[in-house]
Structure 1
Amino acid sequence: MIRVQIVDDHPLVVEGLERIINDSGIARIIGKAHSLKDCWRMLARATADVLLLDIGLPDGNGIDACAQILKKYPGVKILMLTSYAELNVITRSLENGALGYVLKNSTVEEIIEGICTVALDERFLCEEVDLLLRTKKEDTISLSRRERELLRLIAEGHTMNTISEIMCIGYETVKSYRKNIMTKLQVPNTAALIKYVVERKIV
């Protein structure tokens, strides 16, 4: 049974989460706090496996608190549970050590899955947050004109030798370009690269 603590300043939210989590048969609530002051008192008494932490609290914000809590209690796995869906807020939370990020409009299944995942020391993002981060990541990928030309030729099914002739560059240079592109797009092989390009219509 995963032990969970909640830090949220809305009693109705806390009550709802407590009921959902306790009814899951997977986790149980061992502590609740409605402010950061109460949170520190709660942690001083006992620490859970997973801490559900809101961001907007009456005496501070959960993002800064996240780093402070982990510094003093490094064994706690923090899952942010908030209504903030802004990219910079999500990014700062993860940079400050949060292992997961779940929005309050997430499904019950996502919340329970998030608790189970971070309890195993693995990152969890609810579907909406994961999509937001992926979209931003794709938007910021920078490919040169030559890299895009190479991508187009690969997607058209040309071999490395043929691409070398078409682009008037050496075979090893083509391989180097391809390797750089795969690193930028974080794909493991040529087949995955082609699929990525076709699905996202990059070229």
Structure 2
Amino acid sequence: MNMPVRILLVDDHPLVRDGLKARLQVVEHLHVVGEAGHGAEALELASRVQADLALVDISMPDMNGIELTRRLRESSPDLHVLILSMYDNAEYVSSALKAGARGYLLKDAPASEVLRAIETVAEGGSYFCQSAVAAMAEAPAENTPLTDREREILIFIVKGESNKRIAQQLNISVRTVETHRMSLRRKLGVITSAGLVHYALKQGWIDSASNPG
């Protein structure tokens, strides 16, 4: 990836922000365009600096990172949020996902993983560190009803179909498929494709022979 990525840093500890800036400024196409020490400041900055991605802490004095993520997604829909936290429990990870975060990373992650997560999320993908995925795998599944269209798309996903192929078969846009994917992840609290497969198997919508993995 070599397209410029404009980054907003949100953490109430100046030393943490300084450390992140030091990691990021050595990469030519990553640009820190704003820093905020609390949620209200982050919301105000996001409306001005037109960042592509926000690195957001969970614990802050005026507004936690989950609520901030939700409000950022409402006010700046094109802004991707990557959570950078000390905590890897399932409640935080699931709540971040439901709020609209595209990734979850621990603060002790090596610089190489931080950069990989930023680039993955900036390109429109999702990135969850191994401990976040493990925490979600151990969490009890939610019993949230899906719409008929969500169920259709879930079955296509677990069979390994691409967004483009799903869109063609259902005669809908690729963007609509992507929206349904995000809805599925938020409703089910599932991060990985394996988690979606597990859910579909549990519901009896597919059998193990149809699982490509």
TM-score (normalizing by structure 2): 0.64
Q: How does 1:156-175 map to 2 (within 5 A)?
A: none
Which whole-Å deviations, capped at 9, do the CAs of 1:121-157 have from their partners, x for residues lacking one? 11110122123223x26x76xxxxxxxxxxxxxxxxx
Select 1:105's aligned residue among 108, 130, 133: 108
CA distance in structure 1 between the aligned counterparts of 2:206 and 2:29, rounded to whole angstroms = 35
Select 2:121's aligned residue among 114, 118, 121: 118
Aligned-partner SS, 1:60 = coil
Q: Percent identity?
A: 26
Moved more, 106-115 or 36-45: 36-45
**Partner of residue 4, structure 1:** 7
**Partner of residue 81, structure 1:** 84
- Residue 187 of structure 1: CA displacement? 9.0
CA distance in structure 1 between the aligned counterparts of 2:39 and 2:211, rounded to whole angstroms = 46
**Partner of residue 136, structure 2:** 133
Aligned-partner SS, 2:25 = helix
Name the aligned partner's letter for residue 37 of structure 1. A
Which whole-Å deviations, capped at 9, do the CAs of 1:39-70 have from their partners, x for residues lacking one? 12211221211100111111111101111111
CA distance in structure 1 between the aligned counterparts of 2:25 and 2:133, rounded to whole angstroms = 26
Q: State whether structure 2 residue 52 is matched by structure 1 residue 40.
A: no
Aligned-partner SS, 1:56 = coil
- Count of equivalent residues: 154
Which whole-Å deviations, capped at 9, do the CAs of 1:97-136 have from their partners, x for residues lacking one? 00101110111111111110111111110122123223x2
Which whole-Å deviations, capped at 9, do the CAs of 1:19-41 have from their partners, x for residues lacking one? 10111234121110111122122
Aligned-partner SS, 1:31 = strand
CA distance in structure 2 between the aligned counterparts of 1:23 and 1:189, rounded to whole angstroms = 47
In 2, are the aligned partners of 1:3 and 1:27 still within 8 Å (CA)?
Answer: yes
CA distance in structure 1 between the aligned counterparts of 2:198 and 2:44, rounded to whole angstroms = 50
**Partner of residue 50, structure 1:** 53
CA distance in structure 2 between the aligned counterparts of 1:52 and 1:188, rounded to whole angstroms = 39
Q: State whether structure 2 residue 64 is matched by structure 1 residue 64.
A: no
Moved more, 63-72 or 24-33: 24-33
Q: What 5-or-longer segments of structure 2 have no aligned partner?
A: 142-196
From the CA coordinates, give the structure whose radius of gyration is larger: 1
